[in-house]
C-alpha cells in the first residue's frame, strides 16, 4: 500500500507507433502511455529486447524516468503545480508546513491533521548530542554544503530505527526527522563557521521563525523574529519544495532504487543540488552580480554569455523545462521588494544591477531566441543576502526547502507497485577487445598500436 493517496490516472494506447528499421525491414509496435496532463510517453521498455538497440538520450532531454503524481510543470506556459495546486496559490495562501504535508500525503491537511503534523515536526528538530560532536569534526572553514552532505548521511548512524524502507511507518518517521532536522543542521553549520554557540530550536516558534532564530540570534541578547522576514523565508521554502525530476530529485530516486536508506538518499540529493548548474546557481548569481559590480558593465557580461567561445553563462537564467518565465522567479521578485522595503534598504546596488540585467537580457535577441528567462535562483540569492545569509548558505536554504520534495519522490517510488533498481545502459565507444601486454614489453608506442590493431582487427 503506497504511503500517498492514489489517484492513478494512466492509460495505455497499445501499438500507437510502429518503429521500422529501414535497413532490415524489421519493425516493432510501441504503445503510448497517457498521464493526466502534459506530454504522453512512448513506452520503449521492450525496445532493446525487440530491436537489440537502446534509446539514446544523454541528459534525459526527452526521457520520462518514471511516472509521478507529485508535481507538474508546463515549461511553455510557466505552470507549476504541487499535487494539482498552482504554486502561486500555495505561495500566497499556504505555509511551508502545509505544503510539506501536501507533498508527502497528496492532499491538503484538515486543521487537525496540520496541527498534528506540525507538532510532530516541531518535536523532531533537535539533534542527537553525538551528532553535534560529529559536526564539530569539520574544519571551521568547511563549506556548509559539505557539512550538510556529511551530517545528513550520518543520520542513518543515529536514527537506525527508521531505515527499514519496507515499513511505511518508518518511511514516514525518517521523512519527518529529516524535514525537522535540516534547519537545525544548516543553522549549526553556519554557527560553527562563525565560532558562535549553537542556538537550540524553540518549540514555540514556527518552522521558518525557528530557522531565522537559530541562524541569527545569540545567547547574549533577546532576538525577535521579524514576521515579514519569516513570511518571506516560508515562501522561499515553499517555492523550492519540489520540481518534478530535476537533477537532485532524480539522484535521490536513483540512489533509493537500490534500497539505500533514506538518509543516504537525501545526502546524495544534497550533493547533486550543490552544483552551480542546479541549486548552486543562487550562490553563483550573487558572485556574478558582484563581478559585474556596476550597471555599466552589464552589457559586457551579456556579450560574454552570448559568445559561444566563452564558457560563461548568465547565472540565474535559463532552464531545461521552463521556456517561458519561471513562475517562482516572478513570486521571488515581489518577495525581494517586500524584504528590501521592510528592512528600509533604499538602494541595494546588487538588486539594481539584477533588475537592470533582467530588463536588458529579456530584450536581447539571443535570450529571446533561446528562451532564456530568469529562473528560481535569480532572485533567491538577493533575498537571502538581504535577510543576512552569507552566500555560501544559499544552497543550504535551497536544500532545506527541497528535502520534502526529495522525500515525497523517494516515498512514492519505494511505496509504488513496480519499484526496481534503476540501471541505465550506454552507447559504448571505447576500445574493442585487445590483448594484455606484459609490463616489460610495454612502450607508449606498443600500447597505442595494440589499441589501433585492436580496432582494425574487427
Ligand atoms: C535549477 O531542473 C530543475 O527543475 C532545476 C531547478 C529546480 O527547482 O530543481 O529549477 C533549479 O537548477 C534552476 C537552474 C539554475 N541554473 C542556472 O541558473 C545556471 C545557468 N543556466 C544554465 O546553465 C542552463 O540554462 C541550465 C543548466 C539551467 C539548463 O541547461 P539546458 O537545459 O541543458 O540548456 P542548454 O545548456 O542546452 O542551453 C541551451 C542553449 C545553449 O546554447 P546552444 O548550445 O544551443 O548554442 O542556451 C544556452 C546554451 O549555451 N544557455 C545559456 C544559458 N543557459 C542556456 N546561455 C547563456 N546563459 C545561460 N544561463
What DSSP letter does each residue of 27-74 carry, written as one string? EEEEEEEE-SSS--EEE-TTHHHHHS-----GGGTT------SSEEEE
Q: Please work out whether the CB of residue 372 comes within 6 Å of at least one atom of ligand 1.
A: yes
pLDDT digits (tens, 9 = 90+) for 230-288: 999 999 999 999 999 999 999 999 999 999 999 999 999 999 999 999 999 998 999 99
**Contacts by 57-60, CB closer than 8 A, 24 or more apart:** 60/245, 60/250
Can you read off the three cell numbers belonging to residue 114?
496540520
Confidence of residue 3 (pLDDT cuts 50, 70, 90): low
316 lines ligand 1 (CB under 6 A): yes
Q: Which ligand 1 atom is at minimum distance from the Cα of 244?
A: 4
Residue nearest atom 23 of ligand 1, based on CA coordinates: 277
Q: DSSP letter string over 211-269?
A: HHHHHH--TTS-----HHHHHHHHHHHHHTS--SS-HHHHHHHHHHHTT--HHHHHHHH
242 is an active site residue = no
Q: Does 8 have pLDDT greater than 80?
A: no
Judge if the beta carbon of residue 246 lies within 6 A of ligand 1: yes
pLDDT digits (tens, 9 = 90+) for 327-338: 999 999 999 999
Kindly state if the Cβ of 60 falls inside 6 Å of ligand 1: no
Is 128's pLDDT higher than 90? yes
- Answer yes or no: is the C-beta of 280 below 6 A from any ligand 1 atom: no
CB of 315 sitting under 6 A from ligand 1? yes
Name the band, by pLDDT with cuts 50, 70 and 90, for residue 347: confident
Instruction: Give CA separation, 161 vs 167, 173, 315, 384, 404, in Å.
Output: 11, 9, 42, 35, 20
pLDDT number for residue 346: 81
Q: How far is the CA of 337 from the centre of ligand 1 (A)?
A: 26
Q: Out of 60, 287, 318, give the residue to mutate to test ligand 1, the one with the largest number of ligand atoms within 8 Å of its CB.
A: 318
pLDDT computed for residue 2 by the predictor: 43
Which three cell numbers, joined as nine digits, stand for 434?
585487445
Q: Is the pLDDT of residue 177 over 50?
A: yes
- Cβ of 323 closer than 6 Å to ligand 1, yes or no, is no
Q: What is the pLDDT of residue 348?
A: 82
Closest CA to ligand 1's atom 27: 277
Q: Which of 319, 326, 364, 409 is catalytic?
A: 319
Pocket-testing residue among 272, 319, 374, ligand 1, by greatest number of atoms within 8 A of Cβ: 319
Mean pLDDT over the full length of the chain: 94
Residue that the C-alpha cell 550543490 belongs to: 274
Q: What percent of the chain is predicted at pLDDT more than 70? A: 96
CA of 277 to the centre of ligand 1 (A): 7
How confident is residue 452, by pLDDT bands cut at 50, 70 and 90? low
**What is the distance between the alpha carbons of residues 231 and 219, in angstroms, rounded to a whole number?**
24
Take atom 2 of ligand 1 and give the residue whose Cα is closest. Answer: 246
3 state SS of 404 = helix
- Give me ligand 1 centre to Cα 126, in Å: 37
Asked if 255 contacts 265 with a C-beta cutoff of 8 angstroms, the reply is yes
The mean per-residue pLDDT over the stretch 15-42 comes to 96
Q: Say whether 377 is catalytic.
A: yes
Please, what sign has the CA dihedral across residues 148, 152, 157, 159?
A: positive
How far, in Å, is the centroid of ligand 1 from the Cα of 315?
A: 9
Cα→Cα distances 404→22, 121, 385, Å: 48, 12, 24
Determine whether the shortest distance from the Cβ of 328 to ligand 1 is under 6 A: no
Amino acid at each position: 500500500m503506497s504511503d500517498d493517496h492514489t489517484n492513478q490516472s494512466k492509460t495505455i494506447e497499445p501499438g500507437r507507433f510502429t518503429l521500422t528499421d529501414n535497413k532490415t525491414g524489421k519493425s516493432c509496435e510501441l504503445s503510448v502511455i497517457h498521464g493526466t496532463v502534459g506530454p504522453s510517453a512512448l513506452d520503449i521498455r521492450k525496445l532493446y529486447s525487440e530491436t537489440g538497440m537502446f534509446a539514446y538520450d544523454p541528459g534525459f532531454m526527452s526521457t520520462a524516468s518514471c511516472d509521478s503524481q507529485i508535481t507538474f510543470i508546463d515549461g511553455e506556459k510557466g505552470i507549476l503545480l504541487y499535487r494539482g495546486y498552482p504554486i502561486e496559490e500555495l505561495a500566497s495562501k499556504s505555509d511551508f508546513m502545509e505544503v510539506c504535508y501536501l507533498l508527502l500525503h497528496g492532499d491538503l491537511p484538515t486543521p487537525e491533521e496540520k496541527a498534528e503534523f506540525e507538532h510532530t515536526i516541531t518535536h523532531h528538530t533537535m539533534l542527537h548530542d553525538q551528532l553535534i560532536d560529529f559536526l564539530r569534526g569539520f574544519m571551521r572553514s568547511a563549506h556548509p554544503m559539505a557539512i550538510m552532505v556529511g551530517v545528513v548521511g550520518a543520520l542513518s548512524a543515529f536514527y537506525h530505527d527508521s531505515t527499514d524502507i519496507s515499513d511505511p511507518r518508518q518511511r514516514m518517521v525518517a521523512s519527518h526527522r529529516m524535514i525537522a532536522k535540516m534547519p537545525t543542521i544548516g543553522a549549526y553549520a553556519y554557527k560553527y563557521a562563525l565560532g558562535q554557540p549553537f542556538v537550540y530550536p524553540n518549540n514555540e516558534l514556527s518552522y521558518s521563525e525557528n530557522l531565522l532564530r537559530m541562524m541569527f540570534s545569540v545567547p547574549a541578547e533577546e532576538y525577535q523574529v521579524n514576521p515579514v522576514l519569516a513570511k518571506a523565508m516560508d515562501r522561499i521554502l515553499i517555492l523550492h519544495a519540489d520540481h518534478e525530476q530535476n537533477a537532485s530529485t532524480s539522484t535521490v530516486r536513483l540512489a533509493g532504487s537500490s534500497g539505500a536508506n533514506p538518509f543516504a538518499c537525501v545526502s546524495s540529493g544534497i550533493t547533486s543540488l550543490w552544483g552551480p548548474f542546479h541549486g548552486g546557481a543562487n550562490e553563483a548569481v550573487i558572485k556574478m552580480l558582484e563581478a559585474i559590480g556596476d550597471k555599466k558593465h552589464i552589457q559586457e557580461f551579456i556579450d560574454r554569455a552570448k559568445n559561444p567561445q566563452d564558457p560563461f553563462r548568465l547565472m540565474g537564467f535559463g532552464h531545461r523545462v521552463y521556456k517561458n518565465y519561471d513562475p517562482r522567479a516572478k513570486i521571488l521578485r515581489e518577495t525581494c521588494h517586500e524584504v528590501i522595503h521592510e528592512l528600509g534598504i533604499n538602494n541595494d546596488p546588487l538588486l539594481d544591477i539584477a533588475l537592470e540585467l533582467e530588463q536588458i537580457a529579456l530584450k536581447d535577441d539571443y535570450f529571446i531566441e533561446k528562451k532564456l528567462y530568469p529562473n528560481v535562483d535569480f532572485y533567491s540569492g538577493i533575498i537571502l543576502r538581504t535577510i543576512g545569509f552569507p552566500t555560501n548558505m544559499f544552497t543550504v536554504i535551497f536544500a532545506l526547502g527541497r528535502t520534502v520534495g526529495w522525500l515525497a519522490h523517494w516515498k512514492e517510488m519505494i511505496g509504488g507497485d513496480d519499484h526496481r533498481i534503476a540501471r541505465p545502459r550506454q552507447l559504448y565507444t571505447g576500445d574493442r577487445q585487445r590483448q594484455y601486454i606484459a609490463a616489460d614489453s610495454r612502450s607508449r608506442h606498443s600500447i597505442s598500436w595494440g589499441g589501433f590493431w585492436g580496432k582494425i582487427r574487427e
